[in-house]
Structure 1
Amino acid sequence: MKVGDSELFPAMVKQDHYTGCMEGTAPTRTQGGKGAIMQLIERKIGRKLVWIVCDLHTNELPLRHLIQELDGKTLSHNRWSCPLGKMLDSASELEISLSFERNTVGPPLVELAHTFIVAVYLLDCFNTKVKSSFSKGPRHVLFYLEFLGSQPRKVVQSVEQTARRSSWYAHPEAVLQTMLCSKDEEERRVAVKKIMDMRLTSGSGHDKSVGDDSFRVRETPEINLDAKTLSDLIDLDNIQAGSEPPLTCSLTSVQVRAFLDNLMYVPAFSSHSQSIEHCVQQVSEASSHVYSQEKKEGYIRAQVVSREVMSRNRSKKDMFSVVCSNTGS
């Protein structure tokens, strides 16, 4: 739906905080800056919402930046900006020198990229897919930083700024929400204390008061690259006013303090938007084969039915069933 859609905003205004969530895929267009889509929606309905930014982008953007840093930007499908890439068009015209001797200075650049992919990117990608709840987002940031610290200094320096900018789940709202959902009593205690301090500062600290859910400009704070715990990931002592998690803003102070003894349970919204991207890919593929809306829908439905019919060999038992059905035994 468009930002100005007449049906979208009345529906969102009526919804409570548990359904007041937004998921974004393209970080710059959806959540970055005062004019981004997520900020515009919050301004329109007059309250803050839970932000669910695709967690996979936090992992993908540093890798993309590292490859560009090592190999240069791709100018087109067959043109490159790095020194060697610029020579590819004329490489066949160069004279062959039989006396050429190879000189190496440091590890090959491709080895740096390969090590980063295997030791950081793939591990974090798998971790995000397995623990996909948005309440795990800040822990994914810690997981990523832990493996990033094992990389050579050249690699860390190349991706450091990108990693800082793309750590959207390091926002105080997300960190405090994760701590409230933690099984660790100490983490819950810290989160409850910070929320109550914010309420006292805003003058709403009495037992029956609720949190401030008014609109705010959302800015991700500086992160500690050496952090090992959520408390050390950001400076919780200097977080901006109005950083209380949206899901606790509708709760009274008594209800918030109850999380000291029992962890908070939240809906298991996905922290990544790969399912949405799959839907977009399906529609794009259908559009390239058929024209009318009816035929596009039929094309997609046919694909879904075909995949349901196909066997899924997730275990030895499934494979054994396929063999038995084919052999008639």
Structure 2
Amino acid sequence: MVKEPHLVILREPNSRLIGYARLVEESAEYKTTKLNEFFNDKNISLDALIGICTDGEPTNTGTHGGIIRRFELLLKRPLHWFVCLLHFNELPFRHLFGVLDKSSTTGPTSTTGKLSKQIENSEALPVVSDFQRMALENMPPVAEQHEYSTDSQYLYDMAHAISNGVVSVDLANIKPGKIVHSRWLTKAARL
């Protein structure tokens, strides 16, 4: 099995798959070229394109050289920027954690901070089932599994367990994902 980076091209509404563009590099200029080639090869006109949906990665959203901006320049008109707010929602925690941890990154998965070092192997610690519950006001009811990403669901389940004072065996056996700087919800769940 070989892992290959691709851009997935969907048409909205209803998330209808149009196709994929295989990538060999991650620059905004290259991605824009590959997308444009994809549309040209499929004879898809961009005259009706009203916006581009993407995550908040600077390659996509850079105001001067991101993919969306490059398409605006290519089409000579503004587009709607539909940027995923899930990444945006993590920013307050990211900044708070940086202040509390006083850390700097030393690679994509490691940092120098004391707090970061303590949570690196938190899944190896024993699960404490005898703790004082901390009732969280306005805690939404248990959600359907398909409503959240894996990281979001795990964090929600942990908060719900703390609020109820009960950690299920299934929840106790789940291991949080690896710590990667782009996955702030995983860091929050480990804390």
Report the TM-score, using the length of structure 1 for normalisation: 0.23
Report the TM-score, using the length of structure 2 for normalisation: 0.37
Structure 1 or 2: more helix by fraction: 1
Structure 1 or 2: more strand by fraction: 2
Bigger RCO (CA 8 Å, 6+ sep): 1
